[in-house]
Amino acid sequence: MGVKFMRLGLLATTLALGLSGPASASVFLDFTSGSVSVPPPVTSSVTDVATSLAGVTYSITAGVPPTGSNPTGAATLVNSTHRNNVGCAPDPVKNTFAEFSCAPRNGEFDVGFGVLGGANNNEIDGIAQGEFVKVKFSTAVILNGFAGMLTYTQNASPTLNLEKVVLKAFYMGVELPDLLEATPVFLVKEPGPVNGVPVVAENFNTVGLAFLDGLKLKVDEVRFLAGGLGSFDDGNANITAAGLKISAVPLPAGVLLLGLGLGGLAVYRRRQTA
């Protein structure tokens, strides 16, 4: 009897450790997709479902630092667009993160979410503006990566253009201490004229993509911000919230072990009474 019970315990332990080991596959949330957009007329938030993660939904909103005239820090979320879609397609050197949809929008390409107003009217403005795009999950998830698009000035010195996509991660209302910054992958000049409007002397280039991959952080909220330095828009840094990679939180080994152990004990008792 003792040997049988021991075997059941060893089997339960083996199964629990096996099931709790590998993390679940990442799900890519593409904020450049036409299916994840601000519905017309422009509203302050958009809600989508992470269909590959059962029961997980998320909301996307915009925000700014609170002021006397805006004590809640409310802001309006917008779809950011660039004149080209460089950086959207997978590339073994420039884009190893994911394939972005970069859906056509008003003669340009969707490159994620931004904030209405500020120095650049449809992106997340950093430096003094402090704009951000917040993604709030209905339950905790594992953050595996994030990405954004950036813009630089055409004629400025590269040393003056060190824009970064910064992500602040939170769990249960507490900001995680991890430093999450993504630097640009490459630069490319945007074409012109666009929609009949000639390109001005200070037309800006598009940094196709900035991303950080390979993370394993338990979060229930993240915020995209612009960091670094930028000489466009009076020294303002401009970025977009282009996408996230998330996965389900693994079930702790102890929970699996307890469940399997109780199940084994029930089977054993049924055999004893048979």
Mind listing the pLDDT tens digit for each residue in 185-213?
Answer: 766 665 555 555 555 434 455 567 899 99
Q: Is residue 273 included in any domain, yes or no?
A: no
- pLDDT tens-place string over residues 238-247: 889 999 999 9
- pLDDT tens-place string over residues 10-32: 344 444 444 445 567 888 999 99
Domain that holds residue 81: 24-264
228 versus 74: the higher-pLDDT residue is: 74
Provide CB contacts within 8 A for 73, sequence distance 6+: 63, 64, 65, 66, 67
Q: Is residue 58 included in any domain, yes or no?
A: yes
Interatomic CA distance for residues 184 and 199, integer angstroms: 23
Q: Is residue 15 included in any domain, yes or no?
A: no
Whole-number pLDDT of residue 181: 93
Q: Is residue 17 included in any domain, yes or no?
A: no
Q: Is residue 18 included in any domain, yes or no?
A: no
Q: Is residue 65 included in any domain, yes or no?
A: yes
pLDDT at position 42 over 50 = no
Query: By percentage, how much of the chain surpasses pLDDT 90?
Result: 35
Own/partner pairs, 167-170, CB within 8 angstroms, 24+ separation:
167/212, 167/222, 167/223, 167/224, 167/225, 168/132, 168/222, 168/223, 168/225, 169/143, 169/217, 169/219, 169/221, 169/222, 170/219, 170/220, 170/221, 170/222, 170/223
Please tell me the total count of domains within the chain. Answer: 1
Q: Is residue 144 included in any domain, yes or no?
A: yes
Residue 182: band (very low, low, confident or very high) from pLDDT cuts 50, 70, 90: very high
Q: Is residue 52 included in any domain, yes or no?
A: yes
Cβ atoms of residues 149 and 124 within 8 Å: no
Whole-number pLDDT of residue 114: 92
